[in-house]
């Protein structure tokens, strides 16, 4: 028995070397952690239970140089919570995916679903391994992993892109609830070399799928970091707001921050003059517990803020207009961002808080080319089908169709209230007067004076008091009581079933 155990231990020690000591050293010399080092940095100490350690490639002649077949999988704890983990090992065939790699990944995914365990993916690699995928018989077995296509947001799936990623790692990221990417890495369908051979296009990694591409154009990545440590920490931060699975509520966190704390600073933060910009993120910081929130896609669709936070210990999702960008007006990117976030929150029982300061949508001929009507309606469809508690606060203005998209009356919100500074109307007073009274003003004896009189009239029509007077909105609140109001109403909205909804959006695509 001792001899057998000694042989086993030798095999396991060799497996820990991945593609070999030289390749591990080269990985570190290039400024990257090894796959096992990444896992250790992510998980609680001594909590890892590895599965498939002695697996290797099933291609003849590769058994001794393919430890784990390029992926490390297992069970662990993160901040005391049970998870499954998989980490690509670039020292084994550049982290490419062979038949056994795919089998291991599918097995750990299936177990996560079976036992309701969140998935944390530490990814890099070159996609499908050529020898494993060549031939009709081989390739017929290695098409898209079905487990990604039918995941249904059953458990949260979080992915860090820590090195150049093509094919499989990209498919995983695009199917995930949260993605963080290290700057300097690439995430794309295929690498520049394959692109040049297939199409003749010559392009750098950075131009193909670097962080700026995903920040400015695709929105496929939620956060960007300067190094691996930061990306791994962001996985943990996002996870702290997530339930372990779809049958649970997000974790409650005790706070010493008074739920009824008055927000005296917001009076100075938000100008009453509606054309003056201010930073909505500062308002959010005043409202939430301990001033802490976790923003998603901060560089994509910047006129809209989407963030996870807590109010009186309960996890909430915040959708807020940002007057610092385009005066808060939403474009195509903001629509995609809102839809994506509503689906996330509805799938994981996270109540939604809407903070309005939006002059409408950014309409133009270019916007029409980007399918703006469809994007507005998809946002509305997601909102209408969401069943988690929703509370809507009109802070300064909510104009046109955007009033509906931000969960205005008739859109299923539990409560809709306004600050006294709110302006609610089909269009802004200046635009409305120019359209309706343009010719009249052209022939007026004193057009400037008449315009001012019309602005006064239309300004009153836009005030929230008319809507409150007919009980189209629930109340007009003192801005300083916003945190108190949200704490109280969340308590009532979640009294019966907690924050649990029907998860109608769990099957919606993870991209729009």
Cα separation, 322 vs 302, in Å, equals 7
Bridge-partner residues for 318, per DSSP? 307, 353
pLDDT the model gives residue 146: 80
Record the tokens describing residue 135, joined without a space.
Answer: 């031939």
With beta carbons less than 8 A apart as the criterion, state whether 71 and 124 touch: no
Closest CA to 178 of 146, 223, 232: 223
> What's the predicted TM-score (pTM) here?
0.92
Cα separation, 430 vs 438, in Å, equals 10
Taking only the tens of pLDDT, the chain with its 512 residues reads 999 999 999 999 999 999 999 999 999 999 999 999 999 999 999 999 999 999 999 888 898 899 999 999 999 999 999 999 999 999 999 999 989 999 999 999 999 999 999 999 999 998 887 666 666 666 666 666 788 888 999 999 999 999 999 989 999 999 999 999 999 999 999 888 888 778 888 899 999 999 999 999 999 999 999 999 999 999 999 999 999 999 999 999 999 999 999 999 999 999 988 789 999 999 999 999 999 999 999 999 999 999 999 999 999 999 999 999 999 999 999 999 999 999 999 999 999 999 999 999 998 888 899 999 999 999 999 999 999 999 999 999 999 899 999 999 999 999 999 999 999 987 665 655 555 566 776 777 787 777 777 766 665 578 899 999 999 999 999 999 999 999 999 999 999 999 999 999 999 988 87
pLDDT the model gives residue 435: 53
Cα separation, 214 vs 264, in Å, equals 38
pLDDT the model gives residue 83: 98
| Three-state secondary structure readout of 457-511 | HHHHHHCHHHHHHCCCCCEECCHHHHHHHHHHHHHHHCCCECECCCCCCCCCCCC
Rounded to 10°, the helix 482-493/280-287 angle is 60
Written out in words, the top-level CATH class of the domain with range 266-422+465-493 is alpha beta
Round the CA-based radius of gyration of the chain to a whole number and report it. Answer: 26
DSSP code string of 371-415: THHHHHHHHHHHHHH--S-EEEEEEEEEETTHHHHTT-TTS--SE
Rounded to 10°, the helix 35-42/228-240 angle is 40
The half-sphere exposure of 328 on its side-chain side, counting CA atoms within 13 A, is: 28
Record the tokens describing residue 317, joined without a space.
Answer: 């999702």
Record the tokens describing residue 68, joined without a space.
Answer: 């784990």
- Spans of all domains in the chain: 2-240, 266-422+465-493, 427-462
With beta carbons less than 8 A apart as the criterion, state whether 122 and 160 touch: yes
Architecture of domain 2-240: Alpha-Beta Complex (3.90)
pLDDT the model gives residue 481: 98
With beta carbons less than 8 A apart as the criterion, state whether 348 and 158 touch: no
Contacts of residue 41, Cβ cutoff 8 Å, sequence gap at least 6: 33, 228, 229, 232
Establish whether domains 2-240 and 266-422+465-493 are of one fold: yes
Cα separation, 83 vs 114, in Å, equals 12
pLDDT the model gives residue 363: 80
Backbone angles phi, psi at 357, to 5 degrees: -160, 75
Contacts of residue 28, Cβ cutoff 8 Å, sequence gap at least 6: 34
Closest CA to 155 of 117, 121, 115: 117
Record the tokens describing residue 454, joined without a space.
Answer: 């019309």
Q: Using the 8-state DSSP alphabet, how is residue 82 labeled?
A: E
Closest CA to 162 of 108, 227, 110: 227
- Max CA separation in the chain (angstroms): 107
pLDDT the model gives residue 144: 65
Start-to-end CA span in the chain (Å): 57
């Amino acid at each position: 028995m001792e001899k057998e155990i000694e042989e086993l231990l030798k095999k396991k020690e060799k497996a820990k070397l991945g593609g070999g000591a030289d390749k591990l050293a080269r990985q570190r010399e290039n400024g990257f952690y090894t796959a096992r080092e990444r896992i250790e940095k992510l998980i609680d100490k001594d909590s890892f239970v590895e599965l498939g350690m002695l697996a290797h490639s099933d291609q003849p002649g590769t058994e001794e140089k393919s430890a784990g077949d390029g992926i490390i999988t297992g069970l662990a704890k993160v901040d005391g919570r049970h998870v499954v983990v998989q980490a690509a090992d670039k020292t084994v065939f550049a982290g490419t995916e062979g038949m056994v790699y795919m089998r291991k990944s599918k097995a750990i995914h299936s177990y996560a679903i079976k036992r309701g365990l969140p998935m944390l993916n530490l990814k890099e690699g070159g996609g499908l391994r050529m020898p494993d995928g060549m031939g009709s018989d081989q390739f017929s077995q290695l098409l898209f992993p079905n487990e990604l296509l039918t995941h249904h947001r059953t458990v949260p799936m979080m992915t860090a892109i820590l090195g150049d990623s093509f094919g499989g790692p990209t498919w995983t990221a695009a199917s995930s609830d949260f993605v963080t990417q290290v700057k300097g890495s690439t995430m794309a369908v295929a690498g520049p070399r394959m692109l040049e051979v297939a199409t003749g296009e010559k392009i750098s990694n950075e131009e193909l799928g670097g962080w700026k591409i995903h920040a400015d154009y695709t929105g496929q990545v939620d956060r960007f970091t300067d190094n691996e440590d930061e990306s791994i920490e962001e996985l943990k931060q996002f996870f702290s707001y997530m339930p372990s699975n779809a049958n649970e509520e997000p974790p409650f966190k005790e706070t010493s921050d008074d739920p009824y704390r008055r927000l005296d600073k917001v009076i100075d933060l938000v100008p009453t003059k509606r054309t003056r910009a201010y930073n909505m993120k500062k308002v959010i910081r005043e409202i939430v517990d301990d001033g802490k929130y976790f923003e998603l896609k901060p560089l994509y669709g910047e006129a809209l803020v989407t963030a996870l936070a807590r109010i009186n210990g309960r996890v909430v999702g915040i959708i807020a207009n940002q007057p610092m960008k385009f005066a808060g007006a939403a474009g195509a990117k903001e629509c995609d961002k809102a839809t994506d976030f509503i689906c996330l929150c509805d799938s994981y029982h996270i109540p939604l808080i809407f903070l309005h300061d939006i002059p409408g949508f950014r309409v133009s001929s270019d916007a029409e080319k980007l399918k703006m009507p469809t994007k507005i309606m998809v946002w509305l469809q997601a909102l209408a089908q969401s069943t988690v508690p929703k509370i809507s606060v009109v802070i300064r203005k909510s104009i046109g169709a955007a009033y509906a998209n931000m969960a205005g009356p008739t859109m299923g919100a539990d409560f809709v209230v306004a600050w006294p500074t709110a302006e609610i109307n089909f269009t802004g007073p200046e635009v409305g007067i120019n359209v309706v009274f343009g010719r009249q003003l052209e022939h007026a004896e004193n057009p400037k004076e008449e315009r001012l009189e019309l602005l006064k009239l239309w300004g009153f029509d836009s005030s929230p008091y008319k809507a409150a007077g007919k009980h189209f909105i629930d109340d007009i609140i003192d801005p300083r009581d916003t945190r108190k109001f949200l704490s109280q109403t969340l308590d009532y909205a979640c009294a019966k079933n907690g924050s649990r909804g029907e998860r109608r959006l769990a099957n919606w695509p993870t991209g729009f």
